[in-house]
Structures are given as C-alpha cells and as structure tokens.
Chains A and B, each alone.
Chain A
Amino acid sequence: MNTIEKLLATRSQVYPCKEPPPVSKDAEEGGCGVIGAACTVPLAGRVIYEPSLQMQNRGNGKGGGIAAAGLSPDQMGVPRDILRSHYLIQIALLDPACHPELERRFIIPYFDIAASTRQPHIDDYRDIPGLEVRPPEVHRYTVRVKPQVLGEFAERTGLGDLSPRDLEDEFVWRNSFRLNDEYYASLGDKRAFVLSHGRDLLVFKLVGYAEQNVVYYRLEDFRAHAWIAHQRYPTKGRVWHPGGAHPFVGVNEALVHNGDFANYHSVCEYLRQRNIRQQFLTDTEVSAQLFDLWDRVYKYPLEYIIEALAPTTELDFDRLPKEKQAIYRQIQATHIHASPDGPWFFIIARSRPDENRVQLLGITDTSMLRPQVFALSGDGDVRIGLICSEKQGIDATLMSLAKEDMRFCPVADKYWNARGGSSTDGGAFIFTVESGNNGDRSLSCTDKFGHEVRLDCGTVRCDVPAGESAPQELVSYWLLKGNVEALFNHALDLSSWPPAGLVQFCRMVLQVAASAKSTKPVHAAIRLLSMLRDRHFYTGDKRRATVLSVVDRMLEELFDRAPLFGEAAVLCWRRITVETRDRLTVPRASDEILVIDAQGFPPEGDECDAVLLCRAYHLGWRRFIVYRLRGHRFHGSGLGPDTGDVRIDLYGSSGDYAASGMDGLQMYIHGNAQDQVAQIARSGKLVIYGDVGQTFMYGAKGGEVFVLGNAAGRPLINAVGSPRVVINGTCLDFLAESFMAGDPLAGGGFVILNGVEFDGRGRMIFQPTPYPGGNIFSLASGGAIYIRDPHHLLVEQQLNGGELSDLEDPDWELIHPYLIENERLFGIRVSELLTVDGSRREPREVYRRVSAAGLSRKRVMNYDSRFPEIDHRVEKHY
C-alpha cells in the first residue's frame, strides 16, 4: 500500500460509524451569481459588495458566501511568517453556547494557538435590510498542530512518509471533518461547523446575500489579494442555516460553483470509493472534495485536475499533441465517473503560502452551459484579474475600485470567454499573484496549458485631468455642420495626441453641443462619442481601456444634460430617471429622443426600465437612449410587432434578453451584449458593438444582426425562417445547431462568420482559426454559414449533418451587401476581409459555405410537388 492509498484508507478512522447509505442532494441549486477578483494590491472587502449587489437576481437570498485569500498580516494581528505557516481555523457558531465545549474537544488538545479571535460584527443583523436570519458567530483560531499530536497521528495512521506539511494538512482536514460531524452533520439542530481551515484563506457564509457578509462581519476595509463571492439560489425555500452556502473548502482553497450536477450520485460514489464522505450534501461540497483529492492527495498538476473535471473531447481531443492525448486518456479513464456532468462553472481562490502565491481559477464545463467572463486589466504595479458569471459584475467591480483608487480603470483591458474542454485554452484560466522578496507583487494569467494571456496594449492613460481649453474652431464648425466623419477622422490621430487630448476633445464636443441652438450638434455629438466608443481604431501608446472609460463618462455627461420631465424643454430630448419616472408624458412636438437613466431601476420586474420603455412606446415615443445600464434586462422586449420606426440605443452593461422578440425595431448595443439576446427575434436590425453571450438568437425567425466581436456558446440554435447575421469574431461552439432557415438564396437565413479580432491597440487581425469549436451547423436542415476560411481550417469533423462547399456567385451577391453594411457599421473593410496574406483574392477563394447536406433539400422538392396548389396559396397569403 503506498502512502496515498494508506492516507485514504485510514480516513475510516475519522468516521464514527459504518458507512451510511448514500444520500441524495439536500437541495437543487440554480445558476447562482459568482465573482472572483485577484489583484496585485490588496482589495478591500467593499469590492465584492457592488458586483454582488448587482447580481442579487442571480441568487435568492437563501445563501451567500465570500472567501478571501492573500491576507495582510497587520490586520490579522499576526506576523507575516505566522500568517504563512499557521492554519486559520474559522468556525461558524450557529449556537454560540457550544463554543467552550467545542474548543475543549477539538482545538485545545491538538493545536498550539497563536491567536484566538472572535470576528467582529455589527450589533443587530436586522439593521441590514433583507437579512432575515441571524448570521453565525465566527470564531477564528490561528494555529499549528502540536508536534507531539502530529507524531502520534503519523504513528497511528502509518503516514510517516508524508511530508510534515502534508501530514499536518491531513490532520487539520480530519479534525474539521470530525468537528462538522459532531456539531453539524449528525445533528437535527445544527450547532457549529468549520467555515475554512486553510492557511492565508478565510471563508464567511450566511443565509442571505453575499454582500451582507461584508456588512455584517465588517469586512468593508478588510484587505486581501483575492476575493470570491457567491449568490446562492437553492430551490428548497427554507434554508435556516448557512452550511450549504458556498464557498466550500479543501484545505488551502475555497470553491464557488454556478450550476448543477446531473451525476451527483456518481461523483459521491467515486468519492466514497476513496473513503471520502459528504456532510453538507451539495454539488459544491463534492466539487471541493474532488479538487482537494486530486490536488492535495494525488498531487496532480493543475492541468490534470482541470482535465479530470472538464475532459477534452471530440475534435479538441484529436487536436491535442499525441503525448498529451496519452496522458489525458489515462486521466479520463480513471476519473470520468467523477467528472461533473451538467452545467457548471467553478471559481476557486487558492492560497499557496509556501510559494508566496495566491491564485484565482475559473473553470468551465465542456459544454459551456453556464455563462462566464474573464477579464484582465492594469499594468505594472496594479494589475487585476477578474472572473464573473456576467460581464456587468466585472464592470461593477472595476467601477467601484476606480472610484476609490485612481490606479484602476473602470474598463478592463481585455475581456474573454473560456472554451470549455478545448484544445486551445482548456476552458480554464488561472490568475496568479506572486509576491517577490522585496514585497512587490506581480499578476500573471495562464490558461490550462500554461500559455500566458498577455496584454499588448498601450500604457498611456487618457483618463487624466485636463485643463479647460477653448473650443477649437474646427471642432465646433464640424459639429455644428453635423460632420461626424470629419470629427472622427480627426480623432483617429489619437495615438499622436497628448494624454489629456482626448478628454479635452470630448469636453469641447460637449460644450458645443450644450450651447447649440439646433438639434444637429446634439445628434452629431452622440454619434461621434458613440463611434469613439464602438469603433476599434489604432490607439498607439494610449491604453484603449482608458479611451473607453473617458468616452463612457463623456456620454453619460452628455445624456445627463437632457432635461427631465417638468424642466424647461431644451432641443429635442427628454430624460427620465428612477425618481422622476412617474412624470412620463406623451412626447411633445419637439421631443424626439427619450433618454432613460437606468441607474436605480431594478433589473427586472414590473418596475424595471424596460417596462418603462414599453410604456413610453405606447405613449408615442419612438427613439430611445438607455444609459448607465448595470445588467438591466429585457430592453426592446414587449413592444410587439410592427416597430419599424423604433430605435433603441443601449449604453453601459446591457443585460440578458435584450432585443428578445424584436419585430421591426432597430437596436444598437454600444458595448458587449449579454445572454439570450434577440431570442425569437422576427425582424428588425440589431447591431452589437462587442461580444454577445450565450444562446444568442435562440429560436429566432428573422432579423438582421451585426456583431462586432465573438458570440459565446450556441448562437442561433433552433433558429428558423430568415435570420441574417454577421459575426465578425467567432463562436465558442455549437453555432447554428438545428438551424432550420430554409434556402438562403431563396429568402432563407444565414450567418457570415469572419473570424477577425482586434489587438490591444485596436488593429484588426485574423483569429488563428475562424471556428475553433467541435460542432458547427449540427443537425441543421436549412440555412447556411458563410465562413471566411481561406486556409481551409474548417474540417469535415466539425460538421454533423452539414456539408462544405465553395462559394458560388449567387452566394456572394447575397452576402456582399451585408458585408458592405458591416463595413459601414464597424469599419471592417470588405477589401480587408478579401485580403489574404497581403494579396487581394476572389470571394470564392476566401469564403466557404456550410449548408445542409443534400438529403433534406431533395425531400423538400418531393414534398412541394405533392401539394403544388396549396403551396401556391400559402405563398400568396403569408
């Protein structure tokens, strides 16, 4: 028996009784909102507050938890070396009366205690609105196992071969298990449990929302290099104890989870075969146990742990190097039973005190069924990595950081999605904060395979204070003329401007617009600033994130100038805010644009701004600008059919279901779009100046859509009719599954996939492959995908029922107008798209067509000939 086997076998000693029959999950859990941040400078607990608050609608207030890793010694009240070497056993006392007994039985006999502290908290939990259940008292011991105890433990278990640290880890793990069993799992009434017991890592949980931990335990100013938070959505309504809330711990890591396993039972079986029992009966507990097993017991490198969790399959597996395939095959053969099946996304905070490191990991499942966004930002000393279930959470974090600390920029330098179980990034990214000897810290980001994510962007910040300067004559001349193109061309020289140039330029624009007597300059200013925000153009040494943050701020300032209802009319617009929403009236003759300040509106429900927008539409408003969006949902939904005269512009972090059900309207999303966008869309035009989330255009029937960036998983799934879509980036996977959009050459639908991206300085480049996923156009019976693939990188194995063919002239005639419109909207030139390796090519040399295999088409012909007369009539009346 080797040491590992011995270690697992002797865990029987921990268990007080014979193995009980396996139990089922205690509660089903839903999606949940998760966020994690890691930074080179310690972040105050406040940072987790804003994003958690914004993601409340991803939880139901029945469980919220946070974890902090990479703590600072002074606020923990212990020297740095103790913080590094000692375990922080943090105990939740649901029944504080049991504390003395607990301490006597589980702490004092085994541990040398360096510190014993009660976590301060606010006096009355009822002072926190919405907090209904008293959070547990939290007691923390800073300890090491007594050497003598450890010696006896090694002797008793025969684990003397383990390194002293591993031995101590195992002792701490077992002690906590026994404590939990004694005071939690085995009881009808739960009295106490261990929140965390790692080094340099703390966990807090309560029955409520995540951010309430920050308030209740007074962690607003508590600093740590990595934070994670979780909003829980258990479906069992009455959860009166926080044990089931996330995060769960192994030893030196805390894990939060968004999703639901279908094979909970199988995973438990796997763990039980390795002598690991469950106490809290949730998916997340077993996830943490798996991670702990593979990491601490089996000592797998992180890459293998990720592979065991999210196996590489299909084409991606074939694309791995042979030697990796051999290893991965072994991993899958051994651990596939434990690989969580179903939608899940993990965020893990991990302390590595012996290596002076703190890590933040995000791992997504192979099918990418849960939303996930990664972001990296900053340069030099202040660098931050973020992982979140939605982009708005990241933006909220950065915004609240930037508000306090000028070194942060409210916009990240890079946002991206992971491709689960893939050969490209493995569906996982790891942010590592490393402390140097002289106290300076660096943050790096790598994927599963260790490839580093680099930021190649400018470093000069544009968001610097700028002195007042008189409007340049030319700027005001162009603006008054409404010549946006000239102004934009002027701004294209940004790379040669001084740092404050952009701010000055924008201020000028704002001033001119404010003092204008006609509406033209206002429209021009909106268009100009929007273009600066939307277009990718060469920024040289300027940091693009700061360009965006400046323009965002200016746009907000510009919109803020629109008069509220009840104020004197100025030019063409009216503004409405949450405070003044009841003042909404029918538009007067001069009123063109309704500007909705979304701040303060709930993101959904009968009081949300999207409902207000519907109301305004029924009152006669047709042109809308919605700004300061923070994940507000459903814009453009509910207006009904025949909305051809409606135009909606969204600024800020737009939310899920935007443009869903659109039928005629035009919507412009200035920035990234979220999940479920344009679901069941029927007609109209949608322009997204950024990426778009999961299940974009699910079940769509029509509409013209232009996407500047990438789409996440499953775009256009089950779409029928005639949706026409240009995606300039690519998709994670499952593009146009079950696409049923007829014959594109006879009015059906199609997708143009260009596979381009932009580098950190705003220049267009082509992605390594136009479509990395293993499935494209699966089971589709109609429609087509036109993919820019001059090097024939798309292969048969990616198709499942589709066929590849060369582009014919009618195809080009069909898609060319869309590419021209694409050029107009995004500045992506058709000529550039047709340029391969520096030389201009014919369209058919550049684009390829994916369409339904012949079988279904032939069948259609047969069918039509059966009912020629009826078909004719249908044509006439439809």
Chain B
Amino acid sequence: MNTNIASLINPCIPVPGEDPRETVSREVRPVPDRYRNSIGKYRIVRLADCVSCGRCEEVCGYGVHTKPEGYALMTRPRDHLCIGPACSEHGRSCLDECPRKALRMRLNPNLECLGDPRWTADLILATWYQAGTGRIPPPHLEYRHGASGGGFDRIRFRFEMERSCRPVEPEIPDPDTGLDLNRRGDGRPQIHIDIPVYGGGMSFGSVSLNTIVAKARAATAWNSFSCTGEGGYPEQLQPYDDHMITQVATGLFGVSEETIKRVRIVEFKYAQGAKPGLGGHLLGDKNTPVVARMRGAVPGTALFSPFPFHSVYSVEDHKKHLDWIKEVNPDCLVSVKVSTPTDVDMVAVGSYYAGAHIIHLDGSYGGTGAAPDIAKKNIAMPIEYAIPKVHKFLGAEGIRHRITLIASGGIRTAYDALKAIALGADGVVIGTAEMIALGCVRCACCESGRGCPRGIASTDPELVTLMDLEWAAQRLINLHNAWRAQMVAVLKTLGMNSIRELRGRADVLCHLASYEHRRPPGENGHPFAHRIEMLLKR
C-alpha cells in the first residue's frame, strides 16, 4: 500500500484503487530497527590491539563481528546482536578466542536510561527483538517479566519455579490459541479470533495514521482486531474494517452511524484503567487541523472527553445505550470497556444483563505518557486482582460461559497475557506493547509539544514521516508471531490443547511470596524455563 504524504497525514482522503478488503499475510519477515544504531544489551569494544585476523568472526554465531569481502579491517561490532556472557558458557566466545585479547564486553550504558521497573530495558529490547525477528528472544534478555516487584512480575507459572515437570511430547500438534467472542447465543454472528490478543483503542490524533493502519494490518494478518479509539474512523482503515473495533467513548468524537455500521465489534469505552474518572484529553497541540476535521472540532483547542457518558447514569441507561448501538448495527457484537473499581464485579454482571458480549476490564498498569502519573498509579484496581474477582463472580452468577472477559492494562508480554488468562480472562488487549514494537522508548513525551519524537504517537506532518507503514505493520505481525509461539509452548508444557483450557486455571500459577523462604535471596532465575525455549528453538 503506497501512501503519499497527503493521505499519510490526512485521513479524510480516500485511498484510490484499493481493494475494499485486503488480506495481509502473517508470514514473518525480518525487519530491523529503523535507526542506524540499534540498541543492544551489551557493548563490545574493539581495542586498538586488534589485528583484524577475523578469528572473532569465525567464532561468533550471532553475526556481531564482520569483515566484509575485500575489507582490510573488521567493521564496528554489531553488538546489539551479542548475547553476552552466556556465550562463553556454550563454548567459544570472541573474548576468549581473540588472540590479542582485544575485545571487551560490558553492559550497554544506554540501558541505564532506558525503561523503568515496569517496562525494563530487557523487556523493551526483547519486544524489539520479537518485532524484528518474529522469534522468541534469546535467553540473555528477560522477556517474560518486568522488575516492578508487583503485579504480574510477582506471579509465575509453577513450571517456571519447579524443577520437575511433565516431559513435553514434541510431536503433539500445536494447541489452539483461538477464541470465540460471541457466547451469548443471541443470534448475532460468531466472531473467531486466532490469537487471544487484540489491539487497544488509540485514537487518530493521539497516534499517527501509520500507527493505526499498521495495527489494523497486523490484526488482519492474525485474524484478530484493532480498535479506532474515539478520534474518528479514518478512511484508510476501510480494507481492514472486518478487523476493526470502533469505540463509542464519552466524547462521541468521530462517532457516526457510518462508523458503527462499518465494524463487527463496537466498544463502549466507559473508562480507562490508567485514568478512571478523568475522561480523555487531547492536548491542544495535537489537535491539528486534520485531527480537528475528523472530530469536527476547532483546531488547536484542547479536546475533552467527559469522564462519564452524560447519557448513562445507571445500568438501565447502559442497557439502553447498548440497545441503541445494536439497533444501528444489527450484526455487531458489543464490548464494554470499564476500569476496575472495587465493585467491578457488579459492573460486569450489569453489563452482561445489559446485553454486552465482551466485558473488557482495563486495569491500572497501562496508560501512555498522556495519562497523569498520579492517576496511573493510584486509582484503579490492579488487573491481576480484578480478573479473578470478576471471573469468579460471573461464575457464581452462572453466566461466565455466556460472556467473553477481556483484560488489559499493563499486559506487556506473552507471559502477562497467559497469566491473565490463567487468572480467569478469555483474552487480552494490548496497547503499549505494540507501541514498543514500533520503536517506542517509553520517554513519556507522548503529549508534549508536537508529540512523539519517534513519530508513533503524533500527527505532526513532519514527525509522522519517521515511520514507514510497511515496516510498522511487519513489526507488529512479527510480535504476534513471537507471542503466539510462547503461548503454544506454555500450553504444551501444561499439557493443554487450547488456550481456552487455560482460562481460570489459577492453580498453574504461583506467587513469588510463597517461594521466597525457599530460595536464596537475589536469585531470580527460572530454571525450568530453558526447557520450553529449547523446545521452541527446534
């Protein structure tokens, strides 16, 4: 899909000559970083003693050292490919083998300022790796857990902690990671997604058109969904309409019958876990003329989505609201996105009775730089509490099997997703993880000035050209491939045939607190995890 600058920045311009429905291959293709110097975990320094003998190139199995044909000298080490000290455990490492001992290795100092405990540098690098290669990251990158000291980072699969584990039959077929979204049996169409993951709502205005379209293409490739957010529904998404969710949010910006009729799932955004009770806020600087057109607003003024739906002050209003959308689009499924207040279980039950097909719980760990820190960290209930609370409550009401429970809010890794499912969700929604895959460094400058310095979360006509659509879409396709590979591996380890079997199996999880007395402090390894990786590598 060729996009000229005009259509890149202006979603109102229809793309000519496109097949209305586009199929996108989910084939993995390597896509390197879009910046010249990739960031790796380690830094290899070549000292002046080097005589360019080429020995390092011979021993390195990762392509760090190269001496191109006809060159006299080694090129600068491509150290982002280096797997670090683990290399020498397997045998020959360049450091040891160098006849002049001219190579030094250290942790990349960039890592000190990359990420945060929730999104550690390792997680960011690992996500980049997955987006670049479509494969599970190498062991030197901790790609499963962050270091926040709470939430999913304190939860493990038991098999990660225990040394004895059922042997995995390599020949068993891949478990099914698909999910049916309509469980009401209300005569509305069934929708199947191939992975238990779909993309969260990001509005045009808060992110660039390329970001939105890339997400949509990845969702199409994986027969899943992406979401428009509430900033209107760009024409460029038309080829991917079957894989879009459109949001009806409190500002009702860009919502029209047309947009509601275009999609198979309509999502009501009541609140965001990152900032419940605060509504949405597009800062004036990001309200460019194009964004304003989409929303029918005045450019340059801050746009507020009120925190409540002004037409919904009760469950019965809520039902009416859902009925309305169902009337407008008789074939759509309805998802209700709520944050996680203490009575989230009752909200979920209420939404079921109001006719929702999907309850989408948005916990407190998510949110981009645009959500105030004080809100992100203090208001909503952490998602790992909310999921089982709602899952059990729905079960007690006897309606768990009639509704799809989707969790979001800080799902960073495939392991987070699996844990959420084991706690009781059917699937997850991701937001930040996809942004990271596109090269986000979590600088939290989403909302300042002209927007994202990496051109992801910006509609600035200059900044958006930083990212190419093809590149972005493939990165996301790759990421989902890597995630799916991990899910398949974990399910095999657990002896399960489908992701649906994992739902609510909190018994396969454990909390680190219950292990701490048994383990020497400081040790944070996952002895058994290697088994899965070995399996995956085959």
Interface residues of A (CB under 8 A from B): 24-25, 27-33, 57-60, 233, 235-238, 258-260, 342-343, 369-370, 604-606, 608, 610-611, 614, 633-634, 637-641, 656-657, 660-661, 663, 675-676, 679-680, 682, 694-695, 698-699, 701-702, 714, 717-718, 720-722, 738, 740, 742-743, 779, 781-782, 856, 859-860, 862-864, 867, 870-871, 873-874, 877-878
Contact = CB atoms under 8 A, between A and B. Distances in A.
B315 A863 contact: no
Contacts of B12: 874, 877-878
Contacts of A679: 252, 311, 324
Interface string B339-359: 000010011011011000000
Nearest to B394: A237
Contacts of B13: 877
Interface of B: 6, 9-10, 12-13, 187, 250-253, 255-258, 260-261, 284, 288-290, 293, 295-306, 310-311, 313-320, 323-324, 326-330, 343, 346-347, 349-350, 352-353, 397-399, 461
Nearest to A634: B327
Given A237-B353, A679-B311, A721 B252 contact: no
A606 B315 CA distance: 20
A634 B117 CA distance: 49
Nearest to A743: B298
B261 A30 contact: no
Given A236-B349, A675-B311, 4 more contacts: A680-B256, A856-B301, A870-B9, A874-B12
B318 A30 contact: yes
A468 to B, nearest CB: 44
B258 A695 contact: no
A637 B296 contact: no
Interface centre among B10, B288, B310 (most CB of A within 10 A): B310
B346 A27 contact: yes
A233 B12 CA distance: 43
13 contacts: A60-B353, A236-B397, A237-B349, A610-B327, A633-B320, A634-B324, A638-B328, A698-B310, A718-B251, A781-B298, A859-B284, A873-B10, A878-B12
A611 B297 contact: no
Contacts of B317: 30-31
Contact of B310 (A33, A637, A714, A878): A714
A877 B290 CA distance: 11
A718 B260 CA distance: 19
Contacts of B318: 30
Contacts of B346: 27-28, 235-236
Given A714-B310, A867-B288, A874-B12, A637 B298 contact: no
A543 B311 CA distance: 35
A235 B305 CA distance: 26
Contacts of A656: 320
Given A610-B327, A859-B301, A32 B316 contact: yes
A529 B131 CA distance: 69
Contacts of B328: 637-638, 661
Nearest to B324: A657
B298 A718 contact: no
Nearest to A663: B257
Contacts of A27: 346
Contact of B303 (A702, A714, A740): A740
Contacts of A238: 397-398
Nearest to B248: A680
Contacts of A867: 288-289, 461
Given A605-B323, A661-B257, A874-B290, A720 B297 contact: yes
Nearest to A748: B298
Given A236-B346, A873-B6, A779 B304 contact: yes
Contacts of A657: 320, 324
A634 B298 contact: no
A611 B187 CA distance: 15
Contact of A259 (B257, B288, B304, B314): B314
Contacts of A694: 311
B301 A369 contact: no
B142 to A, nearest CB: 40
B332 to A, nearest CB: 11
Contact of A699 (B187, B255, B320, B398): B255
Contacts of A614: 327, 330
A237 B324 contact: no
A608 B303 contact: no
B258 A640 contact: yes
A260 B330 contact: no
Contacts of A31: 313-317
B187 A661 contact: no
B258 A30 contact: no
A369 B313 contact: yes
A258 B314 CA distance: 9
B304 A738 contact: yes
A801 to B, nearest CB: 11
Nearest to A718: B251
B282 to A, nearest CB: 11
Given A238-B397, A606-B187, A870 B257 contact: no
Nearest to B9: A870
A607 to B, nearest CB: 11
B327 A863 contact: no
Contacts of A606: 187, 326, 330
Contacts of A873: 6, 10
Contact of A874 (B187, B255, B289, B296): B289
Contacts of A856: 298, 300-301
A606 B330 CA distance: 7
Given A638-B328, A682-B256, A867-B289, A860 B301 contact: yes
B401 to A, nearest CB: 14
Contacts of B252: 679-680, 698-699, 718
Contacts of B330: 606, 611, 614, 638
A235 B315 contact: yes
A874 B319 CA distance: 38
B256 A608 contact: no
Given A28-B343, A640-B257, A633 B306 contact: no
Nearest to B258: A641
Given A237-B349, A856-B301, A641 B313 contact: no
Contacts of A864: 289, 299-300
Contacts of A717: 306, 310
A193 B290 CA distance: 63
A581 B224 CA distance: 38
Contact of B320 (A25, A28, A236, A604): A604
A259 B317 CA distance: 10
Given A236-B346, A606-B187, A638-B327, A781 B257 contact: no
Nearest to A740: B297
Q: Across the A-B interface, give the 7 residue pairs with the lowest CB-CB distance, nearest first.
A: A699-B252, A30-B315, A31-B314, A235-B350, A721-B296, A863-B300, A31-B316
A701 B250 CA distance: 14
A268 to B, nearest CB: 15
B206 to A, nearest CB: 17
B255 A633 contact: no
Contacts of A878: 12, 293
B196 to A, nearest CB: 26
- Among B288, B314, B461, max chain A CB count under 10 A is at B314
A58 B250 CA distance: 22
Nearest to B351: A235
Given A237-B353, A656-B320, A661-B256, A877 B10 contact: yes
Contact of A634 (B297, B323, B352, B398): B323
Nearest to A858: B300
B310 A718 contact: yes
Given A28-B343, A30-B315, A606-B330, A720 B296 contact: yes
Contacts of B251: 699, 718
A236 B353 CA distance: 10
B10 A701 contact: no
A33 B295 CA distance: 35
